[in-house]
Amino acid sequence: MATEREAQSNLAPFHKFTELGQAIAGKIERMGQTENGAFAIFHPVIGRSERGGSWTKLSEIAIGLTTDLSMKVERRDVGKYVFLEFNDTEPTRKGNDKKLFRVIELTRDEIIGLRDGTFSIADAVAKPKIDRSLDRDDF
């Protein structure tokens, strides 16, 4: 008699970024590859549905690594805490807009601060330092 096999472990639900400003922040637990492409699994993780929205604690989720994300998130990032935000789109020749993401490496405490409202991404991004030692008259 035939018996159907079932998955031995719970699979993380896939999260699809559909609106600008959607973001997640969490620890990359592991990465994998399927016939449909690469993915990263985040656990623990928080998410927000819109820019300026509140953060919600989520169970583990999987994110498909699009072309833009696969260039910014690599296997060496497993175990690191990362912020991902659907930031913009770019037209392509195929007709479907390419999603562009902002990826920032954070600490565990910074992610907890995001959730609690005591930290913002603007605090994490270092502003470029301008070298004022050179004067225009020197050239």
Tell me the pLDDT tens digit for each residue of 84-109.
Answer: 999 999 888 888 888 999 999 999 99
Average pLDDT, the chain: 84
Q: What is the pTM of this model?
A: 0.77
The model's pLDDT over 102-128, given as tens digits with 9 standing for 90+, comes to 999 999 999 999 999 898 888 777 655
Angstrom CA distances, 104 to 13, 34, 35, 93, 111, stand at 23, 25, 28, 29, 11
Determine the residue type at 79.
G
Query: What's the average model confidence in pLDDT over 71-80?
Result: 93
The pLDDT value recorded for residue 8 is 46
Q: Is 82 left (phi over 0), alpha (psi -120 to 50) or beta?
A: beta
The pLDDT value recorded for residue 9 is 47
Q: Is 77 exposed, middle or buried (0-12, 13-18, 19+ CB in 10 A)?
A: middle
**pLDDT > 60? residue 133:** no
What residues contact residue 19 under an 8 Å CB cut-off, 6+ apart?
49, 50, 86
**pLDDT > 70? residue 7:** no
Considering the chain, what percentage of its residues have pLDDT values greater than 70?
82
The pLDDT value recorded for residue 10 is 47
Residue 113's φ and ψ, nearest 5 degrees, are -65, -35
Q: Where do the domains of the chain lie?
A: 14-121
